[in-house]
Amino acid sequence: MKFVDEAKIFIKAGNGGQGCVSFRRAKFIPKGGPDGGDGGKGGDIILVGKRGLSSLVELNYKKIYKAENGKNGSGNNRKGRNGKDIYISVPLGTIVYNLDNPIIPLYDVAEDEKGYVVARGGRGGRGNTRFATSTNRTPVQFDFGGEGEEMAVHLVLKLLADIGIVGLPNTGKSTLISKLTDAKPQIGDYPFTTLIPTLGVMTNNDKTFVVADIPGIIEGASKGKGLGLMFLKHIERTKMLLLLLDLSSTNLEDDYSTILNELGSFNEEIVNKDRVLALNKTDLVSDYRARKWKKHFMDIGERVVSISALTGRGIEALKDALHLKQDV
């Protein structure tokens, strides 16, 4: 399965309806005044930020979005109905570009449930009523409706989350997010179980945090190996990192430096983010081994919590550690 965190779609807002030319007709009024109504406005295309979404995959199935045109005006000063707007749901952190101008984003979708108009519907044309003046009581002018905007749009997702869980494949990241939050990701005893990021909401002491679980990172990820770069960009914008190591691994020191090297070669700032190091799978190793590694990493300046994502041991302490470091 290919993970999609980009999409190119074509959008076309509705055209405005045409204004109407019409004159009032009634018994005993031979020459009624103008009564042609305005056309309706074309529908807009609106992107809506959705906290629950974590991928743009849907937009690769449906690529063309056309909003309804406004209806034409009619006699009796009846305004044409406005075209219906189209709403496209996208995850928070979606950056929106006009494909013709890939440098400056149009929007960075950051707010839940907020709508961003990317293509505006054409305005409705004026009916002849609007052209009446004291010298021209029987105008025959009207406007056609305005054209709806159209655009090829490039959407790029860089998830917005407070905490990003990073680690080698199979270290227990997804198991952990399922314990910390309401998320229910796939968990499997093989590397690269997670192919798309998962978001979950963690609550601790009445505060909530959005946590992201991304696919495992391997050596060379920053150069595109494994699932590579695609996911590292999702943690660029998190406020803090949760580094996860597997205590049952043969060389934790190597695991640790692999992760930090990959993060650092992708973007140095990631390595300077606030972070907590969690040593997972305490249930698989002796207490002695767990303590030894904890001390080792604390000695080099890490904030360390030992946990078992499987049994739940240490999870509350980990929540508190994440909480304390967060300056909100």
Q: What are the residues binding Mg ion (CB under 5 A)?
A: 173-174, 193-194
Strand partners, 97: 154
Partner in contact with 188, chosen from ligand GTP, Mg ion, none, beta carbon below 5 to 8 Å by kind: ligand GTP
Q: Which is nearer to ligand GTP, 154 or 319 (CB)?
A: 319
Contact string 129-168 vs ligand GTP (x = CB under 6 A): --------------------------------------x-
Residue among 120, 173, 233, 294 that touches ligand GTP (CB under 6 A)? 173
Taking CB under 6 A as the binding criterion, the range among 62-70, 98-106, 181-189, 265-273 that sits at the site for ligand GTP is: 181-189
294 is an interface residue for ligand GTP by CB under 6 A: no
188 is an interface residue for ligand GTP by CB under 6 A: yes
Residue among 14, 73, 172, 314 that touches ligand GTP (CB under 6 A)? 172
Taking CB under 6 A as the binding criterion, the range among 15-23, 41-49, 170-178, 231-239 that sits at the site for ligand GTP is: 170-178
Smallest distance, ligand GTP to C-beta of residue 282, A? 7
Partner in contact with 233, chosen from Mg ion, ligand GTP, none, beta carbon below 5 to 8 Å by kind: none
Taking CB under 6 A as the binding criterion, the range among 17-25, 190-198, 297-305, 320-328 that sits at the site for ligand GTP is: 190-198
Taking CB under 6 A as the binding criterion, the range among 94-102, 188-196, 234-242, 255-263 that sits at the site for ligand GTP is: 188-196
Q: Which residues bind ligand GTP (CB under 6 A)?
A: 167, 169-175, 187-189, 191-194, 215-216, 280-281, 283-284, 308-310
